[in-house]
Amino acid sequence: MTESLFRSLAAATAAACLCVATSALAADAPAPSSQQTQAANNKGVVEIESGATTGISVRIVEDLASIIDDGATRRVLPIVGKGAMQNIADLKLLHGVDIAILQQDVLDYARQQKVVPGIESSISYITKLYNEEFHLLARSDVKSIADLANQKVNVDVRGAGTSVTAGRLFDLLKIPVTVTNFDQQVALDKLKKGEIAALAYVTGKPAPLFLGIKPEDGLHLVSVSLDPKVTAVYVPTRLTNADYPNLVTQDRPVDSVAVGAALYVVNLAPDSDRYRNVTNFVDVFFTQFPSLLEPGHHPKWGEVNLTAEIPGWRRFGPADQWLKRNTTVQNPTGTRDLKTVFQKFLEERLQVSGGQGMTQQQKDDLFGQFQHWLTSQTH
């Protein structure tokens, strides 16, 4: 046997022995327990319930995940809800749901009607988000909202936010309608076939559901009468050709109203992992908020004012503490006079509302719109 062959055989033998020894050590090492695996997979998880996929709140949760998930210690898990009323109940009662995006007028309605008893002491808000616009999509023969009297109007499934808002608006305007409760995608098909007269939908513009509508479908968005009784409750707004090129003509924007959406959290034990996870979520969200205003995220982030308060509701403690520690929250005007610019914005909105006075809640909502408006003026 040559010396080189002998060395090769010796090396191979040593490698084999090392492999056997390594396998034996691995066999002796304890495998991770199921509890350890479960704890690792749930580390830093925050579950957020949104609205249906036909709206924009799913996209908003995805945007949040894009800045918060780090692949190791933080993760946002989106949950698609089954209607605003169910989302409120889920936030209070369903195991695992930490946060939900809730429509403010629906939440106030649920509290007033005691639909979910004790809701005001069971949840608190993290921040007001954006406004969601009331859309009234109708056939071409419907010229005004008054034309819908005694006709079929779809208001989404029972318990949806739209059903609450639409019912309230038609009552305020004293317009009796025959309500249908089809899923919005189904309702859109029925509207195109002429089986219903209109479709009401509360969602942030532009609504993904409407983006595929073509001129030949013969549909258009109908204005909501900005009656003083309506503007005393809801924020006036407009839907424009820029929002919906195939539904609104450039020279005739559509008057409507908007309702606020906010991020609410269930009350959690301060010494629990879920509480720490949500606290960490808030810290990263607020700290990284300016990045959500950059291209690539939903334009509705431009309406968000982290410091806006929601009357009658408590802010989540860690969110309130963060805002108090960080008093220099982003000022969108830089060196410009904020009060002067905002006054100009309010004057424009008052023209839309017929010069009616505004509540503090409406002013807070409008300030969020103002931030978005200001961005468009300075770019």
| Domain membership flag for residue 93 | yes
Question: Which of 155 and 353 is assigned the larger pLDDT?
Answer: 155
* Lowest model confidence (mean pLDDT) among 197-211, 224-238, 328-342: 328-342
Kindly report the CA angle at 226 between 101 and 109, in degrees rounded to 5?
Answer: 35
Residue 352 has pLDDT above 80, yes or no: no
- In this prediction, residues 226-246 reach a mean pLDDT of 90
Per-residue pLDDT at 333: 42
| Residue linked to tokens 């532009």 | 206
Place of tokens 């249908």: 180
The rounded percent of the chain whose pLDDT value lies above 70 is 75
Give the residue numbers spanning the domain of 84. Answer: 39-377
User: Which range, of 57-66, 245-254, 326-335, 356-365, averages the lowest pLDDT?
Assistant: 326-335
Q: What is the pLDDT of residue 67?
A: 94
Is this model's pTM higher than 0.85 or not?
no
364 or 95: which leads in pLDDT = 95
Res 2 pLDDT > 50: no
Q: Is the pLDDT of residue 13 over 80?
A: no
Residue 29 lies in a domain: no
Given the DSSP bridges, would you call strands 75-80 and 198-203 parallel, antiparallel or unpaired?
Answer: unpaired
Distance of alpha carbon 46 from its chain centroid, rounded? 15
Question: Between vectors from CA 219 to CA 215 and to CA 225, what angle results, nearest 5°?
Answer: 130
Instruction: Compute the average pLDDT of residues 96-105.
Output: 92
Q: Are strands 75-80 and 219-221 parallel, antiparallel or unpaired?
A: unpaired
CA pair distance 326, 165, nearest whole angstrom = 35
With a CB cutoff of 8 Å and minimum separation 6, the contacts of 115 are: 85, 88, 109
pLDDT (tens digit, 9 = 90+) per residue, 16-32? 444 444 444 344 555 55
Residue 348 located in a structural domain: yes
Confidence of residue 363 (pLDDT cuts 50, 70, 90): low
Residue, of 135 and 35, whose pLDDT is higher: 135
Average pLDDT over residues 103-126: 88
Rounded percentage of the chain residues whose pLDDT exceeds 90 = 54
Position of tokens 């629906």? 106
pLDDT of residue 72: 79
224 CB-near residues (< 8 Å, 6+ apart)? 134, 136, 145, 169, 230, 255, 256, 257
3-class SS at 320? helix
| Predicted local confidence at residue 7, as pLDDT | 47
User: What are the tens digits of pLDDT across the range 194-215?
Assistant: 999 999 999 999 998 998 899 8
Count structural domains, the chain: 1
| pLDDT score of 216 more than 80 | yes
Neighbours of 251 (CB within 10 A): 6
32 occurs within a structural domain: no
Query: Looking at the domain assignment, is residue 252 inside a domain?
Result: yes
Task: Fill in the DSSP letter of residue 71.
Answer: S
- Cβ-in-10-Å burial (0-12, 13-18, 19+) of 67 comes to middle
Give the domain CATH number at 295. Answer: 3.40.190.10
Q: How far apart are CA 357 and CA 163, in angstroms?
A: 27
Residue 15 falls inside a structural domain: no
Alpha-helix runs per DSSP H in the chain: 3-28, 34-41, 57-68, 84-93, 104-112, 119-122, 161-172, 184-193, 228-231, 273-288, 317-325, 338-353, 360-377
- pLDDT average, residue stretch 118-146: 93
Let me know if residue 4 belongs to a domain.
Answer: no
Q: Are 168 and 220 in contact (CB under 8 A)?
A: no
Residue 4 pLDDT > 80, yes or no? no
Please give the angle made by the CA atoms of 282, 335 and 237, to the nearest 5 degrees.
Answer: 65
Average pLDDT rounded to a whole number, residues 98-109: 92
**Does 254 reside within a domain?**
yes
